[in-house]
Amino acid sequence: KQSTIFCSQFDIDGWYEKLGDGTLAEAILDRIVHDSYDIFLDGKVSMRERFGVQQEKEQEESNALL
């Protein structure tokens, strides 16, 4: 048995609309969500703000002062 990870910025309910054909979407999503785990991540600060170029420059400048 193998594992597969699906990542999406859309809610699972929105996948039906994105996949189109109702019967086909139902078949695909049934296989994906059956015995699955849902992990929801919600953050107020984006990765660009946390790990952006500006922060790297500030860190380099503070290291240069040491």
Residue 19: its pLDDT value, please?
A: 84
Q: Where are the domains of the chain?
A: 12-65
What pLDDT digit, counting tens, does each position of 21-65 carry? 788 888 988 988 888 888 887 778 777 777 776 666 677 777 776
Q: What is the pTM of this model?
A: 0.49
- The Cα–Cα gap between 62 and 65 comes to 5
